[in-house]
Amino acid sequence: MIFSRNLRKRRTKMKLIWAVIRPTKKKELEEALVKKGVMGVTFEKVKGFGREEIMLLEPHELEHCKCELLVPDEWVSWVIETIYEHTHTGTPGDGIIAVIPVETVIDIVTGRKGEEVMREDS
């Protein structure tokens, strides 16, 4: 495989931000992220339950929206703040945000690797 060599030497300075939010907050969040310069985000309908549902109700699946963003390390703080600001209601079921280190990234179209993938001229 042409990309397998040297991947270990090319650690990225990127993170995957993964969040589960209320479906009613998706549009607001998407608009805020685009306005702040995020070039891509993946949204997906998901079902599940969290600790609030276990403690307060009989566990059952609730619809939520999962969003994933691949961002440079220096964006992590403001992206998390944006997600929180546009999804927080203060009531159970608001969701969760996780930040996951990314070892490598490859753009399937261009073959670019690492931070090059996030460049606007890609």
Residue 24 belongs to some domain of the structure: yes
Residue 86 belongs to some domain of the structure: yes
Give 10-residue mean pLDDT values along the chain (122 residues).
50 88 96 93 88 58 91 94 96 92 89 78 54
Residue 29 belongs to some domain of the structure: yes
Residue 77 belongs to some domain of the structure: yes
| Collapsed DSSP state (helix, strand, coil) of residue 6 | coil
Residue 76 belongs to some domain of the structure: yes
Query: What is the pLDDT, as a whole number, of residue 88?
Result: 96
Residue 9 belongs to some domain of the structure: no
Query: What is the pLDDT, as a whole number, of residue 65?
Result: 96
Number of domains in the chain: 1
Query: What is the pLDDT, as a whole number, of residue 107?
Result: 87
> For 43, phi and psi rounded to 5 degrees?
-115, 145
Query: What is the pLDDT, as a whole number, of residue 91?
Result: 87
Residue 57 is encoded by which pair of tokens?
Answer: 């109700």
Residue 67 is encoded by which pair of tokens?
Answer: 């969003």
CB atoms within 10 A of CB 24: 11
Q: Is the pTM of this model over 0.75?
A: yes
Please name which of 12, 21, 122 lies closest in space to residue 74, comparing C-alpha atoms: 12
- Across the chain, where does the E strand assignment appear? 14-21, 42-48, 62-72, 95-102
What is the CATH classification number for the domain harbouring 106?
A: 3.30.70.120
Domain of residue 37 covers: 14-118
